Amino acid sequence: MRIATTRRILILAGGVLPFVACGEGGVPELGYELLRTLPHDTAAYTQGLVIHDGAFLESTGQYGSSQLRRVDIASGRVLNAVSMSDDHFGEGIAVVGERVIQLTWKAGLAFVYDVGTFAALDTLEYEGEGWGLCHDGQSLFQSDGSGTLRRRDPATFALLDEVRVTRDGFSTRNLNELECVGDHIYANVYMTNEIVRIDKRTGEITGSLDALGLALASDRPNDAGAVFNGIAYDEATGTFYVTGKLWPEVFEIAIDG
């Protein structure tokens, strides 16, 4: 049962779970329904998350332990992985055809792998920091922790243009992990429990989801780095999977609005 108030609840077998809707200023509030709680590797410092061929592709960060992984959704088991060199810090990922592109934080390099085998295919260069990455079928969108998204050519990684992201006309910042869904980009806001929905053409934030309820439900470690990060959209079901760095859970949610 849902109760249509600012703070709603969803009653499920086994207990009561929060059904949260929260916005800021004139930005519409997005509610969510928690569908499933699934296991997640607590050693995974999640930087990027996508669904491909029925499994998660996950990028993990930290110097000395950054990887690209294929992960079984139901069990959280790592099916295969490739590690970065110890001097690289893994960041966002996106699938482009038969390739998967993985950013690095400060090295100015993006590594390209075969999406099936994880065999190394290419290394691309770019300026500035790499944070989040997503592919909308035509272009790549990249974040760098600021309030600007960079649109890139998926074949060459050349910069095409930039989109300034705004909330009620004001600049924003700390955009992190990205997920392209239709005409929108969903983004984690670093060091918060917020996901924002961005119009990819105008940069306007068109929705805000407060995931504090998920953070409170998580048995995450008492670690300053264990923040909310990771958004994957399942085209088959229309649902989202979200998690955090070092969190022991992945949450499947349905987003309203």
**Complete domains list, the chain, with CATH:** 40-62+79-208+223-230 (2.130.10.10)
| Mean per-residue pLDDT, 105-118 | 97
pLDDT band at 14 (very low <50, low <70, confident <90, very high): very low
Q: What's the token pair of residue 98?
A: 């038969």
- Residues 2 and 206: beta-carbon distance below 8 Å: no
Q: Distance (Å, rounded) from C-alpha 94 to C-alpha 221?
A: 28
Percent of the chain residues past pLDDT 90, beyond the cut: 87
pLDDT at 5 over 60: no
Encode pLDDT of 204-231 as tens digits: 999 999 999 999 999 999 888 899 999 9
Q: What's the token pair of residue 243?
A: 């998690």
- CA 234, 240, 246, 248 torsion: positive or negative? negative
Question: Cα–Cα–Cα angle for 114, 119, 125, nearest 5°?
Answer: 75
**Residue 19: helix, strand or coil by DSSP?**
strand
What is the reported pLDDT for 3?
A: 23
pLDDT at 17 over 70: no
Helix (H) or strand (E) holding 233, with range, is strand 228-234
Helix (H) or strand (E) holding 50, with range, is strand 46-52
Work out the mean pLDDT of the chain and round it to a whole number: 90
Encode pLDDT of 183-211 as tens digits: 999 999 999 999 999 999 999 999 999 99
